[in-house]
Chain A
Amino acid sequence: MSENEIFAKVAAIAAEQTGKDAGEITMDTKFAEDLEADSLDLFQMINDIEDAFDVKIAEIEGIQTIGDAVRFVEAQKQ
């Protein structure tokens, strides 16, 4: 799966949970500041990303941006 494909899926998950427009989400978008996600939103998105890509994200503290999540998934999938 390419980085673009992973990004598209992660952006869709983030958009659905936060009600933001997926088109405005970039690799630099921050979950907390830009998407106004609280901790419950963040747990939900991480959970959805885990389900979507069949990966396990233990250290969610390291995931601040959409790009962090995409790169994490990419590394797990290799």
Chain B
Amino acid sequence: MTAPELNASNPVCGLLGIAYPILQGGMANISDASLAAAVSEAGGLGVIAAANAGADYVSEEVRKLRLATDKPFALNVMLLSPNVDEVAALVAELRIPVVVTGAGNPARYADAWKSAGAILIPVVASVAQAKMMERLGADAVVAEGCESGGHIGKLTTMALVPQVADAVKIPVIGAGGVADGRGLAAVFALGAAGAQIGTRFLAALECTVHENYKKALFKAKDIDTVVTGQRVNNACRILKNDLSRRFDALDAANAPAEEYEALGKGAGYAAARLGDVQNGSVFIGQIAGLVKKEQSAEEIIREIILEYNEIVSSRLCINLRGGVKISIST
């Protein structure tokens, strides 16, 4: 696949200057320069996840990404991070082209980011949140259903995406449960103009997550994830393991929110970087059962687009908002 053609008729591709309307999910402790550069280089939008990291880490990852690709990329800014102010300031300083925000309201930073020329794409979990983000000046939203791994809302992708798509004028990117061309076609049919994909990209060769994490992903079946922390309004989808059973015990004991927080502290790092997939948080989505092998980011994107094209050209006849077919170079 050489020099992918820009599908400018697709609003997400047009907005972001990318070839394929696929955003890589910003996964804490996982989405570093290696994965993000590979996804961007393959024509999607690679995303570096800042998570709780400070400005030094983020600057270094941006520098590494820029050595590997000159394509657009995004920074996922986690708004509940203790370092959010210094990370937010990097957007203007490093001229980061796209900002994806999660876990909160980016209002405090929106004006500064927009004046710096950044494209703002908040992740939303409801219609009201999407409308607020549109009013705030967001350029697009990621409507993320609770099939996703990690912190989640309450609505499924199937219910959330069409309602958000009807409520806002800006492009909607569907997320949650999308791992192949069928998923991409499905969110297009629901009114999205692109998809954000996390779990499938965990399996990318360029994804530097611990090999135990990848093995746990390949072993996971459709029923192997659980939602923890719902009781204390901190719902998180993780792989069922020893840690998730300890969260279940907190539910049974009606434990206070602080105990959930203490149990989850450092658990993402333990799984993603130290490979402790029993006592750490393995954030994978419900679609994990479809992901069975390691492939390059380029192969993953190519496979998704080819499958999508096959679906829209032969199996279904639907009027897709983003154009009937996405061209792919051979």
A interface, CB within 8 angstroms of B = 38-40, 43-44, 46-48, 50, 56, 58-61
Contact = CB atoms under 8 A, between A and B. Distances in A.
Interface of B: 105, 107-108, 110, 125-126, 128-129, 131-132, 135-136, 153-154, 233
Given A40-B125, A47-B129, 11 more contacts: A38-B233, A39-B233, A40-B153, A46-B132, A50-B135, A56-B135, A58-B108, A58-B110, A59-B105, A59-B107, A59-B108
Nearest to B125: A40
Nearest to A58: B107
A40 B154 contact: yes
Contacts of B126: 40, 43-44
Contacts of A38: 233
Given A38-B233, A39-B233, A50-B135, A44 B107 contact: no
A12 B107 CA distance: 26
The 7 closest A-B pairs by CB, nearest first: A47-B128, A58-B107, A44-B128, A43-B129, A43-B128, A38-B233, A40-B126
Contacts of B110: 58
Nearest to B105: A60
Contacts of A60: 105, 107
Nearest to B233: A38
A38 B42 CA distance: 39
Given A58-B107, A59-B108, A60-B105, A43 B132 contact: yes
A32 B245 CA distance: 27
25 contacts: A38-B233, A40-B126, A40-B128, A40-B153, A40-B154, A43-B126, A43-B128, A43-B129, A43-B132, A46-B128, A47-B128, A47-B129, A47-B131, A47-B132, A48-B128, A50-B132, A50-B135, A56-B135, A58-B107, A58-B108, A58-B136, A59-B105, A59-B107, A60-B105, A61-B105
Contacts of B108: 58-59
